[in-house]
Amino acid sequence: LSDGLVNLDKSIDSGALYDTFSAFGNILSCKVVRSSESSAQRKSKGFGFVSFERHEDTKRAVDEMNGKQLNGKQLYVARVQKKGERQTERRFEQMKQDGTTRYQGVNLYVKNLDDSLDDERLLSTEGRGAGRTGSSDVDQHLLTYKHNGTHTYYKQGT
């Protein structure tokens, strides 16, 4: 299982990379990617790969080295993924973010709620999945539920 490393200092070679990551487990292969110029002029492209024998070692290396400084540069260390996997993951993360912000500050209208629903019951049972409650106000036919600055109105019995 491989880790991908990005933002390597140009002075880091495969030997230095091996020395840095060997603390996490048995390394099967280790490589700093270099330009395809002639061997005398080959320069680091600033990224590389480390392949560990055990999945646990890969995970530990990612957890402990991602965001750490190496020769003055902050590393980005992650599990190697195919392009399609990365794109799918990015789309999923974007969808999660969109879902979080899409309904922020939006009022909802809910019809035909049970007449027995009151402030206390809403806050103790029905409101649990909504997160922390700022305040709530029950009127004869209108219930206002405030969550993180957002007011949600429930119309009862209509």
For 34-77, write each residue's pLDDT tens digit. Answer: 888 666 677 889 999 999 999 999 999 999 999 999 999 999 99
Q: Tell me the pairing of strands 142-147 and 69-70.
A: unpaired
Tell me the DSSP string of 14-39.
HHHHHHHHGGGS-EEEEEEEE-SS-T
For 92-141, write each residue's pLDDT tens digit. Answer: 888 877 766 666 655 555 556 566 766 676 666 554 555 554 445 444 44
Query: For the domain that residue 36 is a member of, what is the CATH number?
Result: 3.30.70.330
**Which tokens sit at 47?**
């990224």
Q: Are residues 73 and 119 in the same domain?
A: no
Q: Are residues 127 and 75 in the same domain?
A: no
Number of structural domains (the chain) is: 2
pTM over 0.75: no
> At 88, which helix (H) or strand (E)?
helix 83-102
Q: Which domain holds residue 52?
A: 2-80
| Residue 90 forms part of a structural domain | no
